[in-house]
Amino acid sequence: MAFRRMSPKRQQTFRDAQTEDDVSKLMANYVESVEKETLSKEGWKQSAYYDISKTGVIALTRIQAAAFKSDSSKQDVLINCCCPGYVSTDMTNHKGIKTPDEGTLTPVYCVMLPGNLTEPQGSFLSDKTVVETW
């Protein structure tokens, strides 16, 4: 994951993000760093936008899930994000190791979690399992 290849200082900026605006600013900072060609200097991983955007999605998921968790009228809502895995699609030039059907398993699993659960909440899942990202 892109997060693991960021500098410790940059990783901390994601851990410290508390609002949707914080995440938006991080993403804007990434784009600015790309334009200025200062990615390494600013602690970003040299990466395609895709990897960094997924790190932003994970941060946003945690923030939104925390907001729902603190709202008693939304206790039956789970907010998580997931990775389908390396799926053989046009995006991977059909080099993925999973079929599209296999790639749907984790997203469908997330959608089908019963509303009376309290966990996983604000998590990143892969292969129907919570993955600790940071």
- DSSP code at position 109: H
Q: Does residue 115 register a pLDDT over 80? A: no
Q: What order do you get walking across the sheet with 129-130 strand by strand?
A: 81-83, 124-126, 129-130
Question: What CATH number is attached to the domain comprising 124?
Answer: 3.40.50.720
HSE-CB at 125 with a 13 A cutoff on CA atoms is 22
Mind listing the pLDDT tens digit for each residue in 37-66? 999 999 998 776 788 999 999 999 999 999
**pLDDT band at residue 76, thresholds of 50, 70 and 90?**
confident
Beta strands 81-83; 129-130: pairing state: unpaired
Structure tokens given for 75: 């206790």
Element (H, E) at 124: strand 124-126
Number of domains the chain is built from: 1
**pLDDT band at residue 18, thresholds of 50, 70 and 90?**
very high
Q: Tell me the sheet residues that pair with 7.
A: none
Q: State the catalytic residue, choosing from 49, 50, 86, 109.
A: 49
Residue 7 is predicted with a pLDDT of 93
Q: Distance (Å, rounded) from C-alpha 81 to C-alpha 45?
A: 21
Residue 111 is predicted with a pLDDT of 94
- What is the arithmetic mean of pLDDT over 66-80? 87
What domain range includes position 98?
A: 3-130
Element (H, E) at 65: helix 49-69
Residue 24 is predicted with a pLDDT of 97
Residue 30 bears catalytic tag = no
Residue 71 is predicted with a pLDDT of 87
**pLDDT band at residue 116, thresholds of 50, 70 and 90?**
confident
